[in-house]
Amino acid sequence: LGILIKNGEALEMSEKVTTIVFDKTGTLTKGKPEVTDILGVGVNDAMVLQMAASVETNSLHPLAKAVVEKAQEHHLSLEKSIGFDTFAGKGVQATVKGTEVLIGNRVLFKEREVSWPKEVEEMLVQLEAEGKTVVFIGFNQKLVGLIGIADTLKETTKSSIQKFKAMGLKIVMITGDNVRTAQAIARQIGIDVVRAEVLPQEKASE
């Protein structure tokens, strides 16, 4: 079945398990995110995607790959970026054609004190309620767009979780995603306990 049992003790301990904590991306989901929405804010959608992909081409993150693939689908030429920097679990930054491009999550943009109007917040809430991860795009400290990205569940996820619950096990999902997106996905699966907005280095201690 492709299961490696580390040692006899691990097998003996398995009957004492009360709780299973699952990571989301690539474990409960396929780990192949796809861009579903591009929403420019005062900037056209193509420009948002092109500039974002020009920065994300430097990154190996699954969300970054999804953005680059979408730009390639639209036959957008990627520009050269300089000064690429990454912020673990939050986003990335680089300069493209003299514009400082910031790409990341809500936490990063709040840290940088980048604000957005009420109508953008409404679009954002809608995307998150659909279980999509929203990537924020900023040019020179100003929000210019949102990119919605969806990662589909593995076909076996729901039935596996149901079987674990039938065994009386408590199931927890842990993710770096924001709370609204995480809860929407957890509802689809049937998971009641969610730990969201957890940075990669904090997952083990959580």
Distance CA 28, CA 21 (A): 11
Which of 23, 85, 151, 177 is catalytic? The answer is 23
Question: Is 23 in the active site?
Answer: yes
Task: Give the amino acid at 12.
Answer: E
Task: Give the amino acid at 162.
Answer: Q
Where residue 84 falls (left for φ over 0; alpha for ψ -120 to 50; beta otherwise) is: beta
Structural contact between residues 139 and 100, judged by C-beta atoms closer than 8 angstroms: yes
Write out the catalytic residue numbers. 23
